[in-house]
Structure 1
């Protein structure tokens, strides 16, 4: 089978690999689509994500959908031949965070395509992948695999909204209109937000934000843009840069909630901390997701508007071209690898 393997910084290869066999409690899935994520791009460009550095070749990918092929001993799940999405996280279940119901911040989790552990947890960018059977989710009726490939990043967006609180009837500022930011916009509108303001530096990204449902588009580098909110009710920072967080803190009302979703660069990041004090702004982090994965599949089954965010579907043999396209935000939003072409 073919697999998209990162061997080191800038060294992405489509390797020929043996088809794996499912072990006890595992399922073998024939992958159809895999979404290229920002973390995949970081491994390709920089050889790591934050403090997680590559120490061995690793299959990338954690946004995957496919079809159940077989099960190993003592494994049960959707019937063979069923179209499924794969939840990429395997929390430990016993750490204080898991016991407290916050499995998304489990201190000993396993996550597809991650170098946080050694040996690394191999990812899902291959023709076939073996995963714990309990991580399979049958696609709801009417949900096509291509749209279902958005389930993982949409889950991230839904968790950020959960951290923000009820957005019904509220004005929401979203800084950063990359794939995650656009999914936050779409999810906020689906949740009943009255007005969503999206900011970004790139016109192409703002156009995707419009397609996602943003009511107002703002050039992030123009402080005089009339679209900037005076006092937004909620802000979600999805750009991963300190300037985005600063804008959120300065553009929300007193007592508002600001959610930091974008992963900031390693080390210290300056921000307007005095505003957190003087305006009693609640600054909350949002990391990955848990049960939101099932919610994401239900939402994708009921809303067709998400399709506009898939900007390209590229055969896995052309994986490097797909990564180059995904890294160019002037040309793309969400790029999918096609393993069934």
Structure 2
């Protein structure tokens, strides 16, 4: 089925939930083996809400599971419903829940920590060892994702939405939370310069949040011209850099071009390593040259920038998870700056750490997010305020929409591409109930 126009679903009839019932679910059984099945769902337990899932965005990790039944080192070992970027409507309320009513519109925060360990008590619950995250194979039994008609979810991880936030934008609160967490870790000073590698969903949102946090220039780099153009024309970034495609695929630049592509956090085959056909030094030289080109983009158009702008940007957000992109990040960051590792991909990397050592570059990792949804909702509500920089309208990031769980397979196939059959940009694909 072809994707429908990007229009939000209309009002729904709320079912009366008082006992176990049967729902449809999209269930992955192996690589590209996606099936529509029926499951039984109980009435919500104490502390839970039952949510009728309205909109689910497809994430790069979902695509990885769909194609390989694995995401990085995490291999699924039982059927798994995918989906974790979701919004919906409260259709049933369990005992001991207050503050919600039937029909409330909510965004779902789908990582459930233990709430009791030292990490949780410090507020960094994203690092909880007992975290259960929907659509991830990390815990067993796997915590099933949101590509189901209805799910029971703890009320404390359901965030009420004002009417001004659409279901699409509410679903995008999940990747927006990653961006908020990344920028919080970076803690940019007003007027800082930033570089974002990868113009996928997370890269775009990270660039926008860096601007919202006060960065004066934000350059976004990607191999895809359409995504870079979108980022700049829609106001997510101030400058764009398209990684040039090499004339010969055997050159070291080709690995970098294929790396800075979509921000999808999966390992890339063929990355040059010491002893490979492409020498490690030539790979570093290529990364160094591209870093110089990237940081010159903003400097060449803004004569008011510091004289030492050629030394690099204050902060680089690496949103691809690829080794060679980390090389570029280190070379692109000025002395005393920061590299924020946002993308997750190549698990073992060989890095020129002397670059960071001698220039006192801080390398900071992030993993998902914590305490970000309330901030995200406030940022979205401020879009219409007109005061200073406000986040671009996230609804425009949804380029393709599929209706019904029965069409999930087509949605996943399209989400793994950068353009559709008509040559249109593919950015965020959503599945509506």
Q: TM-score range by the shorter chain?
A: over 0.9
Matched, 1:263 2:286: no
Q: Any residues of structure 2 matched to 1:128-139 within 5 Å, and which?
A: 128-139=150-161
SS in structure 1 at match of 2:430: strand
Tell me, yes or no, if the aligned pair for 1:177 and 1:200 is still in contact at 8 Å.
Answer: yes
> 2:401: which partner in 1?
313
Verify: 1:213 aligned to 2:236, yes or no: yes
Equivalence for 1:149: 171
Which 10-residue stretch deviates more, 91-100 or 104-113? 91-100
Q: Does 2:389 match 1:295?
A: no
CA distance in 2, matches of 1:305, 1:262: 23
Deviation at 1:125, TM superposition (A): 1.1
Using a 3 Å threshold, how does the CA distance of structure 1 residues 262 and 31 change in structure 2: closer, same or farther?
same
Contact conserved, 1:32 with 1:338, CA < 8 A, in 2?
yes
CA distance in 1: counterparts of 2:94 and 2:162, whole angstroms: 24
- 8 Å contact 1:41–1:327 — kept in the other structure? yes
Partner of 1:333: 427
Q: Which of 312, 330, 337 matches 1:249?
A: 330
| Structure number with larger C-alpha Rg | 2
Q: Deviations over 1:312-335 (max 9, x none)?
A: 121132111111111112431111
The alignment of Structure 1 onto Structure 2 pairs a total of residues equal to: 338
Q: Equivalents in 1 of 2:374, 2:174: separation in Å?
A: 10
> Partner of 2:297 in structure 1?
227
Shift of 1:147: 1.6
Q: 1:71-127, CA deviations, whole angstroms, 9 ceiling, x for partnerless residues?
A: 222233421111011111111122232133211111111111111111111111111
**2: CA distance, partners of 1:200 / 1:242:** 15
Once the two structures are TM-superposed, the CA of residue 307 in structure 1 deviates from its matched residue by 2.1
1:236-256 Cα shifts (integer Å, max 9, x gaps) = 000111121111110111010
* Stretch deviating more after TM superposition (154-163 or 124-133): 124-133
The residue that corresponds to 1:283 in the other structure is 363
Q: Distance in 2 between matches of 1:92 and 1:220?
A: 43
My pick for the range that moved more, 214-223 or 30-39, is 214-223
> Matches of 1:308 and 1:7 in 2, distance apart?
32
TM-score (normalizing by structure 1): 0.94
2:72–2:345: 8 Å Cα contact kept in structure 1? no
- Equivalent residues in 2 for 1:48-59 (5 A)? 48-59=70-81
Does the 8 A contact of 2:408 with 2:431 survive in 1?
yes
Note the C-alpha offset of 1:63.
Answer: 1.0
Residues 41-78 of structure 1 deviation map (CA, whole Å, 9 limit, x = unaligned): 11111111222211111111111101101122223342
- The CA deviation string for residues 124-179 of structure 1, in whole angstroms up to 9 with x for no partner, is 11111111111111102411212211100000000000011124311110001011
Gapped regions of structure 1 (runs ≥ 5):
none
| 387, 397, 411: which one aligns with 1:322 | 411
Measure how far apart 1:278 and its partner are. Answer: 0.4
Q: Are 1:186 and 1:306, in contact at CA under 8 Å, matched by a contact in 2?
A: no
Alignment root-mean-square deviation, CA: 1.7
Aligned counterparts, 1:99-110, within 5 A: 99-110=121-132
State TM-score, norm by structure 2: 0.75
8 Å CA contact 1:4, 1:59 repeated in 2: yes
More strand by share: 1
Distance between the aligned counterparts of 2:117 and 2:71, measured in 1? 24
